[in-house]
Amino acid sequence: MTYDIRQLNAFLAVVQHGTLGRAAQTLNITQPALSRTIRRLEEQIGAPLFERYATGMVLTPFGQALLPHATLLQREAEQAAEEINALRGLARGTIRVGAVASAVSLVLPIAIGRVLAQWPNLQVHVVEGVGDLLTDALLTHDIDLAIGVSMPDTADICVIPDCEWHDASHIIAATSHPLRKRTRLRLEDTLDHKWVLPPRGTAPFEEVTQLFASRGLPLPDIVVETRSIIALKSMVAHAGFLSWMPQPMYEAERTAGLADTLHLPHVGLQRRLMVFRRTKGILPQPAVKLLDALRQIAQGL
């Protein structure tokens, strides 16, 4: 079945705004014209896409099935138009990249700086998050490249060879934390103190779980779970929490004398960071430029 991109744009506008009136205003067309467009799409599909109520429009199961495909088609069309316009000198082009906080703290800014030094008209859109968020963002075409912890290839996402780095994760604490006064500090000494971590199911949480389990210890007192890097570091530096993160993430706090590694014997984890992309499709040229810069950094150039 062939879809008209204008019909899909109309469909997505109604999904986003919830009513024909607001969607029509956004698209700068009349409400009757938008209603006809949606009905033509429904006739083409052979099923209703929305349930129509006085308060607005709600997706039917058919509409819910169409939604992810319509979103991907719209983004592919936008990227194609952007690349063509960029080649014609009519648009800047956009680098869409996601990365774990460790890469955002060091590697990614260096790579972006190199790219913009050569192509100053490019724009950059950065998504920061842990692995599950970056995987979703790749699959929904919100980003074209992801920098994250090593993981196996899948049918949809593959690793880019010759482009990797290493960092090390540690337990961190404020420089004034009372545990720093202890001699011969042991991992079990941290059990009596409050912790802040990314949520369950994320790599940092699982790493801490495995660390304590390997010593025959229960999980520490994880009082706060958050994806906010600012919150994680602030609660360590200013509220007496312990946490677990790679060193580049807290380098600024270490330099400022606010927080640093809590030195415990044989506690630390080396990680391999790699670059991932969607298996299918052409990598947009702005992303290719960033990937070239990342490869140079990985190779020490």
Residue 1: predicted pLDDT: 63
How do the domains of the chain map onto residue ranges?
A: 5-76, 94-166+272-298, 167-269
Task: Write down the architecture of domain 167-269 according to CATH.
Answer: 3-Layer(aba) Sandwich (3.40)
What percent of the chain clears pLDDT 90, i.e. is strictly above it? Answer: 45
Residue 90: predicted pLDDT: 44
- Which position has the higher pLDDT, 140 or 293? 293
- 3-state per-residue secondary structure call for the chain: CCCCHHHHHHHHHHHHHCCHHHHHHHHCCCHHHHHHHHHHHHHHHCCCCEEEECCEEEECHHHHHHHHHHHHHHHHHHHHHHHHHHHCCCCCCEEEEEECHHHHHCHHHHHHHHHHHHCCCCEEEEEECCHHHHHHHHHCCCCCEEEEECCCCCCCEEEEEEEEEEEEEEEEEECCCHHHHCCCCCHHHHHHCEEEECCCCCHHHHHHHHHHHHCCCCCCEEEEECCCHHHHHHHHHHHCCEEEEEHHHHHHHHHCCCEEECCCCCCCEEEEEEEEEECCCCCCHHHHHHHHHHHHHHCCC
Residue 86: predicted pLDDT: 61
- What are the pLDDT digits (tens) for 257-276? 999 999 998 898 888 899 99
What's the CATH code, domain 5-76?
1.10.10.10
The model carries a pTM of: 0.64
- What are the pLDDT digits (tens) for 147-194? 988 777 788 899 998 888 888 999 999 999 999 998 889 999 999 999
Same fold, 5-76 and 94-166+272-298: no
CATH 3.90.1150.10 matches 94-166+272-298? no
